[in-house]
């Protein structure tokens, strides 16, 4: 196992973690961005399975949030406003009249303090940042995000945080996965299984209505393996929805398979659900490491709580109180289906 560090633009650093199974993960201290994940296919051909820009300077704006840590609150906050104990807070609107992914000053555009580490079984990098009160969010936050790579081809993402005031917090990572390898095709022919019986209903602006819908008999039914691309058409255009995980003994909440390469990605988390986003609005023509962007070129598994809880009953609360510790843990495991 080894860790390599590369300086970019003087202030940025990219850490590449490589295990003994020929898998590697590259992470920027800017935005905590995962720029590249290399994993072998069934024929031991090592290829990149995430979307990343060809030119590092494109990460400065990163309108698609490629690979980044998202927060303080991942997702859309209706009308860019919320209340805590009767007190109203106004945020910056950056998605129409709504607030998206932490706003224009989100965590995806800050330089984190990075500390690499290595143990007998793992390698990784710990990112730390103090998010000061502002932009409408109350409280000063101390946030730590740790990326750990194991020899079992597992990538662990651990998030911890504390605040001096009650504040909403729902962190996630916004990596776009494509198991074809080197972006040879879209994710339309990937097979997906998900341990979810319900999904949050959305309005025309992709804001949760407060209703929770049973997936049975709908295009959101993934409890039995289905092809993602069945909903990539003019009527539906894919997914950008919050799926609520079922409780139970099943540790793996998501399984994604790509039959040609044999690659399999599983996701397990301690979070109550996730937004699955299938790059519905990814405009063509942006230069990536292995080609150019196009619709449905990747799929994001944004494990987190949902900001719907700020306006509606029935969703797990995302408020972090002083004296509490926010703890989120998500594991992405790469395997081969022979």
Residues marked as catalytic: 174, 302
Q: How many CB atoms lie within 10 A of CB 201?
A: 15
Q: State phi, psi for 10 to the nearest 5 degrees.
A: 85, -45
Of 323, 210, 273, give the one whose Cα is nearest residue 74. Answer: 273
Question: 3-state SS string over the chain?
Answer: CEEEEEEECCCEEEEEEECCCCCEEEEECECCCEEEEEEECCCCCEEECECCECCHHHHCCCCCCCCCEECCECCEEHHHEEEECCEEEECCCCECCEEECCCCCCHHHCECEEEEEECCCEEEEEEEEEECCECCECCCEEEEEEEEEECCCEEEEEEEEEECCCEECECEECCEECCCCCCCCCCCCCEEEECEEEEEEECCCCCEEEEEEECCCCCCCCCCCEEHHHHCCCCCCCCEEEEEECCCCCCCCEEEECCCCCEEEEEEECCCEEEEECCCCCCCCCEECCEECCCCCCEEEEEECCHHHHCCCCCCCCEECCCCCEEEEEEEEEEECC
Of 210, 173, 196, give the one whose Cα is nearest residue 272. Answer: 196
d(CA 64, CA 283): 9
Residue with tokens 């560090």: 5
């Amino acid at each position: 196992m080894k860790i390599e560090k590369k300086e970019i633009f003087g202030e940025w650093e990219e850490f590449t973690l490589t295990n003994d199974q020929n898998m590697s993960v590259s992470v920027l201290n800017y935005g905590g961005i995962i720029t590249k994940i290399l994993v072998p296919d069934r024929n031991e051909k090592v290829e990149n399975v995430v979307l990343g820009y060809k030119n590092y300077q494109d990460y400065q704006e990163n309108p698609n949030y490629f690979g980044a840590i998202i927060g303080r609150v991942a997702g859309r906050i209706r009308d860019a406003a919320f209340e805590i104990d009767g007190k109203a807070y106004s945020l910056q609107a950056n998605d129409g009249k709504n607030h998206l992914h932490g706003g224009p000053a989100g965590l995806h555009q800050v330089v984190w303090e990075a500390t690499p580490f290595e143990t007998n079984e793992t390698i990784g990098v710990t990112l730390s940042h103090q998010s000061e009160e502002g932009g409408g969010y109350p409280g000063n936050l101390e946030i730590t995000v740790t990326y750990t790579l194991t020899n079992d081809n597992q990538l662990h993402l651990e998030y911890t945080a504390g605040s001096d005031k009650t504040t909403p917090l729902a962190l996630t990572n916004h990596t776009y996965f494509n198991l074809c390898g080197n972006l040879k095709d879209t994710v339309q022919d990937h097979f997906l299984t998900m341990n979810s019986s319900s999904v949050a209903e959305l309005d025309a602006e992709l804001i949760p209505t407060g209703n929770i819908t049973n997936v049975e008999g709908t295009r959101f039914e993934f409890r039995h393996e289905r092809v993602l691309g069945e909903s990539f058409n003019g009527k539906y255009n894919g997914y950008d929805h919050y799926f609520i995980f079922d409780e139970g003994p099943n540790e793996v909440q998501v399984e994604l398979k790509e039959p040609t390469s044999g690659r399999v990605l599983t996701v397990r988390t301690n979070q109550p659900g996730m937004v699955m986003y299938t790059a519905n609005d990814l405009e063509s023509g942006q230069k990536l490491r292995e080609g150019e962007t196009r619709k449905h070129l990747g799929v994001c598994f944004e494990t987190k709580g949902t900001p719907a809880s700020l306006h509606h009953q029935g969703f797990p609360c995302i408020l972090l109180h002083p004296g509490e510790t926010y703890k989120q843990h998500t594991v992405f495991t790469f395997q081969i289906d022979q």
